[in-house]
Amino acid sequence: GAGVSQSPRYKVAKRGQDVALRCDPISGHVSLFWYQQALGQGPEFLTYFQNEAQLDKSGLPSDRFFAERPEGSVSTLKIQRTQQEDSAVYLCASKDSPAYTQYFGPGTRLTVL
Amino acid sequence: AQSVTQLGSHVSVSEGALVLLRCNYSSSVPPYLFWYVQYPNQGLQLLLKYTTGATLVKGINGFEAEFKKSETSFHLTKPSAHMSDAAEYFCAVSGLNTNAGKSTFGDGTTLTVKP
């Protein structure tokens, strides 16, 4: 079966541009997480959805970051007016409820010039 | 609040030698603990997890880890390293009462396997 997919795999943006990163979770998975992984560090939590409801966005670093999951399946992470410090790998994970195991996608590597 | 400390950002072993990657955690609620492996340009793959029950857990590729509550540790071991084990390893913790499994990760340990 298909795993979690993310697109694009690589994105280069000029500072100030807006970007949109897509996550396709495993079909039927209720929970969806976004993490940010800076170079040489572990993933850091950004936000969490249960179905279409965004239940936790405490990890979003600024109001330039916005995530949505309007139909409870595909999710989009949008970053407005990108800055160099936004350069990182953005990982998406999904899991079924009430399982403990998160399944990760391959990530999108964002480079802001 | 939760946190994870991985002791040693780089570990180098010879092929066939014991692998020991250290992880200590703190959690204000009973923890769920995970080890993930990440190969270059790939996502995280779950090696093993501890939720409840037996404190020695076995995972894929011959890895195992032991949950020691008194030491707040969850070290990862493998008796005999293989060249294909060279990768980045992450320890993570989530709590029973945290947001449906939101995880806190350590900074990772890069494992190098020498021939």
Average pLDDT over residues B20-39: 91
pLDDT of B98 strictly over 70: no
Q: Which residues of B touch A35 (CB under 8 A)?
A: 105
CA distance A75 to A64: 17
pLDDT at B2: 85
Per-residue pLDDT reduced to its tens digit, B68-92:
999 999 999 999 999 999 999 999 9
Q: Which residue has the higher pLDDT, B18 or A1?
A: B18
Average pLDDT over residues B56-65: 96
CA of B105, closest CA in chain A: separation in Å?
Answer: 6
Q: Spell out where B15-108 has E strands.
A: 19-27, 31-38, 44-50, 56-58, 64-68, 73-78, 87-95, 104-105
Q: Which residues of B touch A42 (CB under 8 A)?
A: 4, 90, 92, 105-108
Per-residue pLDDT reduced to its tens digit, B64-74:
999 999 999 99
With pLDDT > 70 as the criterion, what percentage of chain B qualifies?
94
Residues lower than pLDDT 50 in chain A: none
DSSP category for residue A27: T
Residue B17 · residue B31 · CB < 8 Å: no
pLDDT at A100: 76
**What is the token pair recorded at B94?**
């989530």
Q: Which residues does B115 contact at the CB level (< 8 Å), separation at least 6?
A: B14, B15, B83
CA of A52, closest CA in chain B: separation in Å?
Answer: 15
Cα–Cα distances in Å, from A35 out to A10, A77, A95, B38, B53?
A: 16, 10, 14, 14, 29
CA of A82, closest CA in chain B: separation in Å?
Answer: 22
CB contact under 8 A, A43 and B49: no
Contact residues of A toward B, CB < 8 A = 4, 31, 33, 35, 40-45, 48, 50, 55-56, 91, 93, 95, 97, 100-107, 109
Q: What is the mean pLDDT of chain B?
A: 91
What is the full DSSP assignment across A43-88?
-EEEEEEETTEEEE-TT--STTEEEE-TTSS-EEEEESS--GGG-E
Single-letter amino acid code for the residue at B33: L
Q: Which residues of A touch B106 (CB under 8 A)?
A: 42
